[in-house]
Amino acid sequence: MKVLVKTLFAVVLVFCFTAAASADWLQFRGPGGLGISSEKNLPTTWSAKQNVVWKTELPGAGSSSPIVVGDKIILTCYSGYGEEGKQGEMNNLKRHVVCLSRDGKILWTRDVPTGLPETAFSSFQALHGYASSTPVSDGKTIYAFFGKGGVHAFDLEGKPLWNASVGTTKHGWGSGTSPVLYKDLLIINASVESSSLLALNKNTGKFVWTAKGNVSQSWNTPLLVRLPTGATEVVVNQNGKLRGFNPDTGEELWTCTALPDYICPSVVANDGIVYAIGARQNTAIAVRAGGKGNVTTTHTLWSVKKGSNVSSPVYHDGHIYWASEAKGAVYCVNVDKGTLVYEQKLTPNPERIYASPLLADGKIYYVSRTNGTYVVDANPKFKLLAHNTLGDTSVFNGSPVADNSQLLLRSNRYLYCIGK
């Protein structure tokens, strides 16, 4: 009897630990927005005929990444205008919030207002399209952002709850930032739409605060940074400045002179230090958060003349890793010394990489737009573990997601589940 009790107790412990270790992927780049997953036994190799659990054709294209809410997968799409290989008429533009079951079946699709006229189709807009913001969820409600088309809240069954406009300005490059949740606030970088960082009440869609000063030429998702003191700041990168705000009130706490150009990559942080890359200048910097006023001379730790214009970095074990958007190379920097550890060309050439990397199971997954996924050892000594393609000729812009020991990869045509 004692043996049976001990065995049952062990089984319960294992079950509880497994349940606790596997967290839902509720926002862009997952828990904390850092692109890190605790999932194990993830696949290293796959192809169109190997380790594809399922693939589901989507009702439209999109650059947003999927999120996982319990047994549901949520993503956004667009159709009717500016799709691959055809421009069409702007009046036919439709945007969709799509919910799939964990076995790949589409449970529901909801169309949302497009906010016409939208940014006209162009070579720049064609690079990512009209559904580039990843939704966010608190486990009960889904929040989707479509630029001047507004913010839309749904319950998990697809029932519309509220919608709100955060500005009507548009840009030739379109919109691309994703919302984040903090307490009862939905925080949005509305740089394009209203030159502001703002917060809405997540239950009503009403404005709570709008940050002072313009947030200019900023296409990155805000990051909630936990300080060693226990306080939390929200940090956003913009043209020429890295800025920290009080997420409860929108008060600007500090600024740091940073990258003098438009910014797409989101920042990451560890132990209260923020790591930012970006701009055509291609630079990486480290700044200690938690300051007051202009902290350029007091809190800037180092700067390296390497960066990326689109893809965000990931932190792991004293190093940050990222991929160039166009140079076909990946990078590793030692964050204690601020020194470049490696700059390594990927083979075969990935061409462009817009997706942000995923760190999981001792590996870094870099998804290229048109030439598959590169799996690299998460180690300061570069090692390419695999290069995988799926035979899908459409573009992959969505960042990869780890869930249930599987990967979710999103192209303009399909959502794939990779693994066992």
Alpha-carbon distance of 63 to 346, in angstroms, equals 23
Q: What is the pLDDT of residues 350-379, one digit of tens each?
A: 999 999 999 999 999 999 999 999 999 999
- Write down the mean pLDDT value for the chain: 93
Confidence (pLDDT) at 215: 86
Confidence (pLDDT) at 49: 95
Confidence (pLDDT) at 87: 86
pLDDT over threshold 80, residue 85: no
Alpha-carbon distance of 187 to 210, in angstroms, equals 10
State the CB neighbour count (10 A cutoff) for residue 273.
19
Confidence (pLDDT) at 173: 92
Contacts of 75 (CB under 8 A, 6+ apart): 58, 62, 64, 65, 66, 67, 97, 98, 100, 134, 135, 398, 410, 415
Alpha-carbon distance of 197 to 178, in angstroms, equals 12
pLDDT over threshold 80, residue 323: yes
- Residues 256-261, mean pLDDT to the nearest whole number: 92
Residue 340, judged by CB atoms within 10 A of its CB (0-12, 13-18, 19+), counts as middle
pLDDT over threshold 50, residue 6: no
Name the E strands within 3-150.
Answer: 36-37, 52-57, 67-69, 72-79, 94-101, 106-112, 136-137, 141-145
Strand 283-288 and strand 273-278: pairing? antiparallel
**Which of the two residues, 4 and 385, has the higher pLDDT score?**
385
Whether the CB-CB separation of 286 and 299 falls below 8 Å is answered with no
Confidence (pLDDT) at 2: 42
Helix count and strand count (H, E) for the chain:
3, 34
**What residue has token string 């048109």?**
370
What single-letter DSSP state applies at residue 12?
H
Q: What is the pLDDT of residues 334-351, one digit of tens each?
A: 999 999 999 999 999 999
- Residues 322-328, mean pLDDT to the nearest whole number: 96
State the CB neighbour count (10 A cutoff) for residue 26.
19
**Which of the two residues, 276 and 3, has the higher pLDDT score?**
276
Handedness of CA 99, 104, 106, 109 (dihedral sign): positive
Closest CA to 270 of 319, 308, 231, 306: 319
pLDDT over threshold 90, residue 41: yes
Alpha-carbon distance of 334 to 337, in angstroms, equals 6
Q: pLDDT-based confidence at 216, cuts 50/70/90?
A: confident
Q: pLDDT-based confidence at 307, cuts 50/70/90?
A: very high
Closest CA to 176 of 166, 162, 187, 191: 191
**Range list of H helices, 160-224:** 191-194
Q: pLDDT-based confidence at 125, cuts 50/70/90?
A: confident
- Residues 32-55, mean pLDDT to the nearest whole number: 98
| Chain-centre distance for alpha carbon 282 | 20
User: What order do you get walking across the sheet with 293-294 strand by strand?
Assistant: 223-226, 232-238, 241-245, 252-257, 293-294
Q: pLDDT-based confidence at 416, cuts 50/70/90?
A: very high
Rg (CA), the chain: 21
Confidence (pLDDT) at 83: 87
The structural domains of the chain, ordered by start, are 2-418 (2.130.10.10)
Confidence (pLDDT) at 257: 95
Q: pLDDT-based confidence at 246, cuts 50/70/90?
A: very high
pLDDT over threshold 90, residue 7: no
**Which of the two residues, 205 and 4, has the higher pLDDT score?**
205
Whether the CB-CB separation of 268 and 320 falls below 8 Å is answered with yes
**Which of the two residues, 420 and 369, has the higher pLDDT score?**
369
Confidence (pLDDT) at 186: 98
pLDDT over threshold 70, residue 22: no
Q: pLDDT-based confidence at 27, cuts 50/70/90?
A: very high
